[in-house]
Chains A and B, each alone.
Chain A
């Protein structure tokens, strides 16, 4: 169980994340919907220790992680797939996956986890020796998710994994996320593709201007007419946002 409370991120005077609290249970996908610039990326980076946060408590299975360096947080069982994937493009697929298991916690089950990842993304198995930067965006995203899974996390954070993917790749990726959840991992998913992500999520939070402005079960959010406006960023009066491109 991941429990985040009162987390804030400031860039100078601008408060990108304003005292947000949320929780992710094992075996569920919690979704964060919000427009560009609403603070989603800063929130995930702060939870993962990649971005300094103030006043936060980030507890994973009761252990306090706030303030720890990012590499230690991975060791505690929380893995982030960042926006833009963060894969090692110059290295091969196999090397990326091996590095995923660099954390000591991941060593004992490394072979088993590798098997799981290759079952989940059979395409990676065919391309173990390929240099990652020569692969398509969707394949690189698979490497990024696979690498995160190799660290044997309890909680997986994903920042807009569908960004720039073809609809087909997107479908494949979301199906994989649902299977990862079914294996008992907790997933915190940040997405702009509300339609597809609400279809696999269990619960969701709506975020605007760094604050949580609503939450509920995925089904209730799907049926809520206000959700359309909220995740488009139109919940704030006087702030027009283009509709998502549906990719």
Chain B
């Protein structure tokens, strides 16, 4: 039972980490607190479901279609809807407040479209659902695969941000947007890039989650809230912080649900969040952007 809880905790935590990495990129670099983050994730989940059930496209191949599409859509959202806010905001704090209001509205628009298309019912599909035994515990193959993909995507993002010049420029905008133009970085273009990357990440998470969780059109908010908690726990703009905090949250939720009471899952989430806010308000690893 312990190993089973451990593996499903890691899978869940890996998903949280991936979703939160997307949010922390958007918030840390572009200063957009995107409350519609989870909606994009669920939209990606529905896209994977639709591709799988009506076009028989395997969700892993679906990633190749859905992730670039999400990148393009997020980039377009930034250019059309958020750039006017960026232009008129006198400073980044004002942009933060404006972006919360704008994306709060966007949340309902995306959610409404999905409700019209799919209704409020829960959906799932069966892909690689056969059991695999590791260290005495049985896990569905699709969960393991989701974890592996999350790890690869997270690692690729980390290497991109730390080992390439463009990635370093993205981090430079996160830590000091005022100074970035001094080295010929176009801050607005970099912010748009980071926002698009954030959308691509959360869409990848949506596809992976759709392989093993049931979901409906209303559930995005839950993931946005958890991603927010993970981002704040790990330290804003800090990718490694996202990874660790995401795993902690996933493991804590699963262990409490397995060994104490499944009804206490949400309570555990917020208890952890409160403890970290009280003890280390700057997050586990400090913020990289303030």
A residues bordering B, Cβ < 8 Å?
Answer: 48-50, 69-72, 74-75, 79-80, 82, 86-91, 95, 98-104, 106, 147-148, 151
Residue contact B179 to A102, C-beta cutoff 8 Å: no
Instruction: Report the 8 A-B pairs with minimum CB-CB distance, sorted nearest first.
Output: A70-B181, A103-B184, A86-B179, A74-B184, A90-B175, A71-B181, A99-B183, A71-B184
Known: A88-B172, A99-B168, A102-B169. A82 touches B179 (CB 8 A): yes
Bound-state Cα–Cα, A147 to B182, Å: 9
Residue contact A90 to B168, C-beta cutoff 8 Å: no
- CB < 8 Å neighbour of B176 from A72, A89, A95: A89
B residues bordering A, Cβ < 8 Å?
Answer: 165, 168-169, 171-172, 175-176, 178-187, 288
- CB < 8 Å neighbour of B182 from A72, A74, A91, A106: A74
Residue contact B176 to A74, C-beta cutoff 8 Å: no
Give every chain A residue within 8 A of B182 (Cβ-Cβ).
48, 50, 70, 74, 79-80, 82, 86, 147-148
Nearest A residue (CB) for B288: A90
Nearest B residue (CB) for A48: B182
List 22 interface pairs A-B (beta carbons < 8 Å), by A numbering.
A69-B186, A71-B185, A71-B187, A74-B181, A74-B182, A75-B184, A86-B176, A86-B178, A86-B182, A88-B172, A88-B175, A88-B179, A90-B176, A91-B168, A95-B171, A98-B168, A99-B185, A101-B165, A102-B185, A103-B184, A147-B183, A148-B182
Give every chain B residue within 8 A of A100 (Cβ-Cβ).
183
Give every chain A residue within 8 A of B172 (Cβ-Cβ).
88, 91, 95, 99
Bound-state Cα–Cα, A48 to B168, Å: 23
Instruction: Tell me how far the C-beta of B166 lies from the nearest C-beta in chain A, rounded to whole angstroms.
Output: 9
Give every chain A residue within 8 A of B175 (Cβ-Cβ).
88-91
Instruction: Tell me how far the C-beta of B287 lies from the nearest C-beta in chain A, rounded to whole angstroms.
Output: 9
Give every chain B residue within 8 A of A95 (Cβ-Cβ).
168, 171-172
Residue contact A50 to B181, C-beta cutoff 8 Å: yes
Instruction: Tell me how far the C-beta of B269 lies from the nearest C-beta in chain A, rounded to whole angstroms.
Output: 29
Nearest A residue (CB) for B187: A71
Instruction: Tell me how far the C-beta of B4 lies from the nearest C-beta in chain A, rounded to whole angstroms.
Output: 40
